[in-house]
Structure 1
Amino acid sequence: MSDEVLREHVLYVLNGGGAHLGFDQAIGGLKPELRGAKADGCSHTAWRLVEHLRICQWDILQFSINANHVSPEFPIGLWPPTDGPPNEKAWDACVEAFRTDAQAMVDLMADPNTDLFAPIPHGDGQTILREALLVADHNAYHLGQLVFLRRCLGDWSD
């Protein structure tokens, strides 16, 4: 398989293709009053999930491109401290930052000058390919949780 074909496959998944659900589809139509709502059987609120997705994706991207990046403390630094966003502006900023970083990871993966298999110099064996797959996997997992939460809250229709 050529690098170009591999890039196309990974980009397809990063963009919500295949069995994956896209970010905008998962958050689309979510009622603002439900962003901090809890549901029986669900560990997190929509805000906690979306902000966690943003933080982790940003962390993985920054690790991939910035030798000076310092990751947030695990696990506390990867989750927001509150169940709901402080305000509408915080939600909007989170969503926009997620989209921006998602596009940056897509751009990095799509760049033919990016060596997908070279170890990241400041890592301990990670590659850009591994980090892109980690983003896709992590996002898919938590977007699935978000859909389940929305179903439990009566805010999702198939």
Structure 2
Amino acid sequence: MSESNSAFGQALVKSLIGERGHIPIARALPDITPELAGQRTEGIPYSIYQLMKHMSYWQDFMLTFLEGGKPQAPGSVMDSWPEEEAPGDEAEWQDTVRHLLQGVEKAVDFARTAQLDEPLPGFPGETKGGILRNIASHNSYHLGEIVLLRRLHGAWPPPGGGYPA
């Protein structure tokens, strides 16, 4: 692996897990209760649960490309948002959190080991590094929304503190 590939990979790892620019994703989610996850806020179109499911949908979609597959694109972007506002129970919520974090770990593994400028046959014009950057930026964007919703519901910071304060 070239030095520049390795440096870009390490930058992607930091973006995927959250470093410097925002709280690590693994610290921002685990203490959220199913009740908080399903709570709606006036003027905000989605619950934390819906944001998490949407993040997982696109993360899974992009990871499929990295794994050599060609996922079926949704008919509409709206198809990537669940209708259900809340998880059915604690087990479903924990599975939702676990699934998203496992996907982040898969992306991190790719960032550490893949030739990042390699094109993706199933996605013309895109590279492995580009897909990983997309996962990182999409997750960061929506993680910011989750943190804001937590603040609005008085559920911030998480145990151990959060930053920015």
Question: TM-score, structure 2 length as denominator?
Answer: 0.86
Q: Distance between the aligned counterparts of 2:79 and 2:43, measured in 1?
A: 24
Q: Distance between the aligned counterparts of 1:110 and 1:130, measured in 2?
A: 14
Please identify which structure carries the higher strand content.
Answer: 2
Q: Choose 48-57 or 71-80, whichever is displaced more.
A: 71-80
Tell me how many residue pairs correspond in the alignment. 156
Q: CA contact under 8 A between 1:40 and 1:152: conserved in structure 2? A: no
Q: CA contact under 8 A between 2:34 and 2:86: conserved in structure 1? A: no
Q: Which residue of 2 aligns with 1:138?
A: 138
Q: Which residue of 1 aligns with 2:55?
A: 53
Q: Distance between the aligned counterparts of 1:93 and 1:73, measured in 2?
A: 26
The equivalences for 1:33-48 within 5 A come to 33-48=35-50
Q: Which residue of 1 aligns with 2:118?
A: 118
Q: Which residue of 1 aligns with 2:127?
A: 127
Instruction: Give identity over the alignment, percent.
Output: 27
User: What's the offset of the Cα at 1:126?
Assistant: 0.7
User: What's the offset of the Cα at 1:87?
Assistant: 1.8
Q: Distance between the aligned counterparts of 1:119 and 1:71, measured in 2?
A: 19
User: What's the offset of the Cα at 1:105?
Assistant: 0.9
Q: CA contact under 8 A between 1:60 and 1:131: conserved in structure 2? A: yes
Change (3 A) 1:30 1:90: same
Gaps of 5+ in 1: none
Q: CA contact under 8 A between 1:120 and 1:126: conserved in structure 2? A: yes
Q: 1:102 aligns with which of 98, 101, 104?
A: 104
Question: TM-score, structure 1 length as denominator?
Answer: 0.90
Q: Choose 17-26 or 116-125, whichever is displaced more.
A: 17-26
CA RMSD of aligned residues (A): 1.6
User: What's the offset of the Cα at 1:137?
Assistant: 0.3
User: What's the offset of the Cα at 1:74?
Assistant: 2.7
Corresponding residue SS for 2:123:
coil
Q: Distance between the aligned counterparts of 2:54 and 2:88, measured in 1?
A: 15
Q: Distance between the aligned counterparts of 1:4 and 1:24, measured in 2?
A: 23
Q: Distance between the aligned counterparts of 2:30 and 2:92, measured in 1?
A: 17
Q: 1:31 aligns with which of 5, 30, 33?
A: 33
Gaps of 5+ in 2: 158-164
Q: Distance between the aligned counterparts of 2:115 and 2:26, measured in 1?
A: 29
